[in-house]
Amino acid sequence: MKLRIALPGMPAAAGGAQAEADPHGAAVLSHAGRYEASAEERKLLCLLADGRLLVAVGQDMNAHVLSYQARLQRMRKAFRVEHAKIDELRQLYASGGGALVERGQERSMMQVTAKDLLSRACAARASDIHIRVRQRATEILFRVRGDLTPVSVQTREYGERLLATLYGAMASVSDSSYKPTERQDASIADRDKLPPELHGVRIATVPTNEGTLMVLRLLYLEAGDGELCPLGFSPQQAAMLQQLKEQPIGMNIIGGPTGSGKSTTLQRILSGQIAEAEGRRHVLTIEDPVEYPIDGAVQTSVVNAGSEDERSRLFAGAISNAMRLDPDTIMVGEVRDRASAQNAVRAAMTGHQVWTTIHANSALAITDRLLDLGLAASQVADHTVVTGLISQRLVKALCPHCKLPLSAAPAPLPAAVLGRLREVVADLRRVHVTGPGCEHCAGHGSIGRTVVAEIILPDDEFFGHVRRGDKAAALSYWLRSLGGRTMVEHAVEKVAAGLVDPRMAEQVLGHLNAGAALARRRLQVVEEGCDAR
């Protein structure tokens, strides 16, 4: 992490103006003179004439380092902290610092390269950037519309410098330094380091058997107008979510895997709630870190945790603290451990409306996930506490300009896919498949992705089955008595309307003829005059 410590309004080089006027600006000031460091301090830090204070990696909180920084502040000497290896510090004292200029210039050039990479990803509307540093090369890939696309191959050394720059020089929330042999998380939030399209970037790294993998999640600046149907929710589903928004209390949980659009849905829901309340509702978010801006909400971030246990403790503490800040609605970015789940449920039990997300395979499986985290069934399966269970996925939406009718597809669907399609779609004439691509979709054949979802508004009888551990009975009751529709059924509706390619739907959701709901409501196939091949 690159720390910036400066004293605004102070002379840039009190007592050292001559050295800092040097165009090369790399003279060592802490070797002797006014800013001389002690022998112990020189082992850990080095002050340069251009204002940089190099501190040995991992030694930011060392007493000698803190003491020297305090002395510089008393002397009104402006400085900014950067990290270096102890060997580099030793070499700088031996050489006078001449080699540092090249190192700083290289880092600056790599920052320009990193920002350009982010801009290229934005132009492609990528959701993620994958940087894979392998034994002999570096591969860079963009995830666009759910698919990974290779964009560049570079040397291993290039990749190592790029990762170190993204993490060490651009990230605003990270560990003290980039460590290729450890799992690390960070984020880039400084506006001057991001393209104008982005609100932020989430960074995750992991060592591999050949090198390092870094994945950057791009968080776009998109206005959340509160409308849910444009995301892909049906009017009936939008009405159910509106009902949940209007309930003053209760915990509403959106489940799905990574990249299923949960955060975007939350942003739309809360933006709509704030707009409808005309500023009379206090919406407080607790995130790690803040992902999307929500106008009118008070967004807080849990940052700089040194370990997963520390992150869990800080996150749970933030939820507990939020209840004392007079909120009407609390949004918890993600429930992923017992402490955060327990505190979120407690907030719902004490008269607050709570929205959160969780990793779960279906709406009903959300209850299993909460029980797996260690919550009591009496808390999880209480319709006055947990008021909404939502699960969603994202499926590619066909380009309306170049999509092809099933009968005009250049290659027939596999027999198994066509057989399943016949079971669930009454009129195959309206089914369309991916076309050749055109200027409207940049040759992709699709125009982004659309939500397929399922929503459960549980009552006491539904949760009674859950408390007894009878999930089959709970599912049957939801479908039969509560009018439930599964994600697969929602996808089938979109396939039948010609909005989604059946093959793309099955890639995300599995076989379209699967599930108890479809078995219960199996449609009779009518193919009058349809040559489906």
Residue at token pair 């409808």? 276
Same domain, 23 and 69: yes
Structural domain boundaries enclosing 92: 17-98
Same domain, 169 and 90: no
Nearest to 505 by CA among 519, 441, 402, 514: 514
Domain membership flag for residue 327 = no
Same domain, 128 and 179: yes
Q: Residue 205: which H helix or E strand, with range?
A: strand 198-207
Instruction: Judge contact between 266 and 331, C-beta under 8 A.
Output: yes
Instruction: Judge contact between 20 and 50, C-beta under 8 A.
Output: yes
Domain membership flag for residue 38 = yes
The torsion defined by the Cα of 332, 335, 341 and 345, in degrees rounded to 10, comes to: 40
Domain-ending residue, one of 51, 76, 98? 98
Q: How confident is the model at residue 33 (pLDDT cuts 50, 70, 90)?
A: confident
Same domain, 92 and 127: no
Question: Nearest-5° angle of CA 268, CA 345, CA 244?
Answer: 35
What confidence score (pLDDT) does residue 7 get? 35
Domain membership flag for residue 158 = yes
Residue at token pair 């301090």? 41
What confidence score (pLDDT) does residue 57 get? 86
Domain membership flag for residue 64 = yes
Same domain, 56 and 73: yes
Same domain, 93 and 112: no
Domain membership flag for residue 145 = yes
Same domain, 112 and 66: no
Q: What tens digit of pLDDT does each residue of 109-137 get?
A: 788 889 999 999 999 999 999 999 999 99
Instruction: Judge contact between 118 and 198, C-beta under 8 A.
Output: yes
Nearest to 13 by CA among 34, 42, 41: 34
Query: What is the CATH number for 186?
Result: 3.30.450.90
Domain membership flag for residue 242 = no
Same domain, 120 and 73: no
Please determine, for residue 143, whether its predicted confidence score (pLDDT) is greater than 70. Answer: yes
Residue at token pair 């939406």? 397
Q: How confident is the model at residue 517 (pLDDT cuts 50, 70, 90)?
A: very low
Q: How confident is the model at residue 306 (pLDDT cuts 50, 70, 90)?
A: low
Q: What tens digit of pLDDT does each residue of 203-249 get?
A: 999 999 999 999 999 988 876 667 899 999 999 999 999 999 999 99
Same domain, 54 and 35: yes
Same domain, 112 and 22: no
Side-chain-facing half-sphere of 125: CA atoms under 13 Å:
11
Domain-ending residue, one of 50, 66, 98? 98
Tally of CB atoms within 10 A around 409? 17
Same domain, 122 and 157: yes
Count up the domains in the chain and report the number. Answer: 2
Domain membership flag for residue 390 = no
Same domain, 83 and 120: no
Q: How confident is the model at residue 22 (pLDDT cuts 50, 70, 90)?
A: very low
* Euclidean distance between the first and the last CA atom of the chain, given in angstroms as a whole number: 59
Instruction: Judge contact between 36 and 59, C-beta under 8 A.
Output: no
Domain-ending residue, one of 187, 220, 253? 220
Domain membership flag for residue 265 = no
Please determine, for residue 397, whether its predicted confidence score (pLDDT) is greater than 80. Answer: yes
